[in-house]
Chain A
């Protein structure tokens, strides 16, 4: 009996470390899921005299995608995100996070602009309200303006198929 104790401890450690490996420490559960979308009122990238706030998008399922021209992973997700938006005719607000507006425009001219509207969060203050800590991040809002899902990191095809598309379909089926 006794001689199996080290083996038991070893097995326990293996299981523990295995789960440790499959966990991504960068994925922190957001306390914002289930809460109303934080209020903001920001200038738009292409026309800073016009402003945009969450109320303008109420009544539909929409996505807030946090991105910046300096963000390398944003370029990685851009093609997938663009296709996802096109396939689902999704309303996506781009939150241009701590970016220089001319740089952002150059970036969009190069890679294409899938966003319905882009809000400029120059000092990152709205980013703090959304608990942004690693760009890109995406939030899915339901018709009532409640945050229902948060995706941290670059969106890939697997995430679209397994999580994001089903979530959008589910929220669209809900009553507004």
Chain B
């Protein structure tokens, strides 16, 4: 039981790592916004968009020159062009592809990505089913007559000994 707890704790720690990572600030240009919605949108977008140079960082966390340029571009699109979230994302997807999004859209080319974990889970259940059936079969397999006699003999002597001890 203790081991199970250990596994759960270490697993949840690993799950928490991306969340901690999200808090990292590198792109700290001073930005001023007219409305709080604009600020919220800007902060949301620079977390959701990927820096294509470093690939495992978002625009907010990346120190790359391109990430800085793209932060500027996102800021301009919000402030000067008053663009909406989907418009800004489309602008970047048209240029850099879906890869610029950390959360890729569900499409024929990304279906394995989305369905993969469930397929693996299903596979796990199938394997588990066969393993369980196999062990149960082994446990309940019938014995041949010679084996049965041998067992009976063993049990009898066992009983006999038990009585003697008493």
Residues of A near any B CB (own CB < 8 A): 1-2, 5, 25-26, 28-32, 98, 123-124, 127-134
Can you identify 20 A-B contacts, CB atoms within 8 angstroms? Answer: A1-B134, A2-B130, A26-B55, A28-B96, A28-B97, A28-B99, A30-B97, A31-B93, A31-B96, A31-B97, A124-B66, A128-B69, A128-B73, A128-B95, A130-B95, A132-B66, A133-B53, A133-B96, A134-B52, A134-B53
Query: Interface digits, B61-96 against A, CB 8 Å rule (1 contact, 0 not)?
Result: 000011001100100000000000000000001111
Q: Nearest chain-B residue to A70 (Cβ)?
A: B65
For the complex, would chain B's binding face be called helix, strand, loop or mixed by DSSP majority? Answer: helix
- Whether the Cβ atoms of A131 and B134 lie closer than 8 Å is no
Cα A150 to Cα B99 in complex, Å, equals: 16
- Whether the Cβ atoms of B52 and A28 lie closer than 8 Å is yes
Shortest B130–chain A CB gap in Å is 6
Query: Interface digits, B35-61 against A, CB 8 Å rule (1 contact, 0 not)?
Result: 000000000000000001101000000
- Whether the Cβ atoms of A31 and B94 lie closer than 8 Å is yes
- Whether the Cβ atoms of B55 and A25 lie closer than 8 Å is yes
Give the B interface residue count (CB, 8 A): 19
Q: Give the residues in chain A near B73, CB-CB below 8 Å.
A: 128
Q: Give the residues in chain B near A29, CB-CB below 8 Å.
A: 97
B131: Cβ under 8 A from any A Cβ: yes
Tell me which of B70, B95, B127 contacts A5 (CB under 8 A): B127
Cα A31 to Cα B55 in complex, Å, equals: 17
Across the A-B interface, the 5 shortest Cβ-Cβ residue pairs: A133-B52, A131-B95, A31-B97, A131-B96, A28-B99
- Whether the Cβ atoms of A128 and B94 lie closer than 8 Å is no
